[in-house]
């Protein structure tokens, strides 16, 4: 059984299950997730796209849906009695589900550690009591669990395996009707509904400003599976900027870009792996941001910066997310050759630090080992 509450977790679970099927052709998968898991052959008992929210206020607004989803998944744990529960990210929800499953005698494999290195390191012990194995995706995370004698395994970051365009850049430019001689700027407003509502309007406004400054500029937006056409069109129709929307080909879109405006999260790491300069921007509700300032103890929020251990990509957080700041940083990337090259060199180091990949296969190997014990 899988439990994935967000778009990235849906993808990770799908990739892992595909690798599991190679080793155990008769294996059955079921659980909570989205389109990618369904396509991989996992029976979806609850579609998680409606509960993919982040932040205290957002969670409170969707509390009823999240609570119902948890109860439903707990009922499935009891009725289906899976041989293994794989909780993918979606931390607080999956911690509760893991505790329940462990109480029912079900083995629990947790995939993607909570960011104990950023805040609440005491969670290592809490999670350790609810799981049988923690699979971490950054090599520096294992030490936190080993220190508390919690079973842990570094499996590699899943993005290293999956972040590969389907075609060459030249083919993609033709496919998407983009002109190589003109600047191409990517708009990645996130994969959650509340992210779109907060980030897309300011990104589109920044695009309008960039259009006024450049005659030779094009905009592309790779649409996340979890975001509906209707939601995007509400904002795009109110904007004067022409934006090319492309579905199901995020990495082909990204590789075409000269610069990208992106939200924080997995997307920023995928952009780093494809070696495209970017600016990271993120806004939360006022209360969530206020609490976060006192709870989170990390200098950066962008994964490329966290992995690098220094600020290699500009981060615009909360009140710094303005039209001028976004447009100015994109201009800097497009026009300042030395600035651009310095960022590219630093992104190459990030890619090197993440290693060769194999995350999905390593996860499948770990799951098979737990199933056999």
Q: Work out whether the CA dihedral 299, 301, 303, 304 comes out positive or negative.
A: negative
- Supply the pLDDT for residue 206: 98
Is the predicted pLDDT of residue 50 greater than 90, yes or no?
no
For the record, the structure tokens of 239 come out as: 């904007």
pLDDT of residue 290: 67
How does pLDDT run across 54-76, given as a tens digit for each residue? 666 666 777 888 999 999 999 99
The least confident of 13-17, 58-62, 119-123 is 58-62
Averaged confidence pLDDT in the chain: 92
Calpha distance 55→358 (Å, rounded): 31
Whether 116 has a pLDDT exceeding 70, the answer reads: yes
How far CA 48 is from CA of 37, 64, 174, 242, in Å, comes to: 11, 13, 35, 31
Q: What is the pLDDT of residue 140?
A: 80
Nearest to 274 by CA among 336, 354, 209, 175: 354
In tens, the pLDDT along 327-369 reads 999 999 999 999 999 999 999 999 998 887 899 999 999 999 9
C-beta separation of 111 from 135 below 8 A: yes
CB 66 within 8 A of CB 51: yes
What's the pLDDT at 157?
A: 87
- Tell me the whole-structure pTM to 2 decimals: 0.74
163-192, pLDDT tens digit by residue? 999 999 999 999 999 999 999 999 999 988
Query: Tell me, what's the pLDDT at 44?
Result: 96
* 292 pLDDT more than 80: no
Above pLDDT 70, what percent of the chain?
94
Nearest Cα residue to 202 out of 228, 246, 235, 227 = 235
pLDDT digits 0-9 by tens, 220-254:
999 988 888 999 999 999 999 999 999 999 999 99
CB 86 within 8 A of CB 3: yes
Which residues, including other chains, have CB under 8 Å from residue 200's CB and lie 6 or more apart? 187, 189, 232, 235
For the chain, list the domains and their CATH numbers: 2-156+358-372 (3.40.50.2000), 169-353 (3.40.50.2000)
């Amino acid at each position: 059984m899988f439990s994935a509450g967000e778009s990235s977790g849906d993808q990770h679970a799908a990739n892992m299950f595909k690798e599991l099927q190679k080793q155990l052709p008769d294996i059955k998968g079921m659980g909570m997730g989205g389109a990618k898991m369904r396509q991989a052959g996992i029976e979806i008992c609850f579609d998680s796209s409606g509960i993919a929210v982040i932040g205290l206020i957002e969670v409170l607004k969707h509390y009823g849906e999240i609570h119902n989803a948890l109860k439903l998944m707990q009922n499935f744990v009891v009725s289906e009695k899976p041989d293994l529960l794989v909780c993918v990210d979606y931390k607080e929800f999956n911690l509760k589900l893991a505790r329940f499953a462990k109480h029912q005698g079900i083995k629990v494999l947790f995939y993607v550690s909570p960011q104990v290195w950023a805040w609440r390191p005491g969670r290592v012990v809490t999670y350790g009591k609810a799981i049988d194995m923690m699979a971490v995706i950054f090599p520096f995370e294992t030490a936190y669990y080993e220190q508390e004698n919690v079973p842990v395994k570094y499996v590699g970051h899943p993005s290293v395996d999956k972040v590969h365009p389907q075609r060459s850049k030249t083919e993609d430019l033709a496919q998407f009707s983009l002109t190589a001689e003109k600047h191409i700027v990517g708009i990645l407003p996130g994969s959650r509904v509340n992210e779109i509502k907060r980030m897309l309007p300011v990104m589109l406004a920044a695009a309008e400003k960039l259009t006024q400054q450049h005659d030779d500029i094009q905009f592309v937006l790779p649409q996340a599976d979890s975001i509906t056409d209707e939601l995007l069109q509400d904002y795009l129709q109110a904007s004067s900027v022409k934006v090319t929307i492309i579905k199901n080909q995020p990495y082909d879109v990204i590789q075409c870009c000269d610069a990208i405006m992106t939200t924080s999260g997995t997307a920023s790491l995928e952009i780093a792996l494809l070696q495209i300069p970017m600016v990271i921007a993120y806004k939360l509700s006022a209360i969530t941001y206020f609490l976060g300032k006192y709870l989170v103890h990390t200098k950066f929020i962008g994964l490329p910066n966290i992995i690098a251990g220094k600020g290699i990509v500009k981060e615009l957080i909360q009140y710094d997310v303005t039209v001028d700041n976004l447009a100015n940083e994109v201009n800097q990337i497009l026009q300042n050759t030395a600035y651009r090259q310095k960022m590219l060199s630093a992104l190459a180091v990030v890619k090197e630090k993440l290693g060769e990949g194999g995350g999905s296969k390593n996860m499948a190997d770990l799951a098979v080992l737990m199933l056999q014990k």
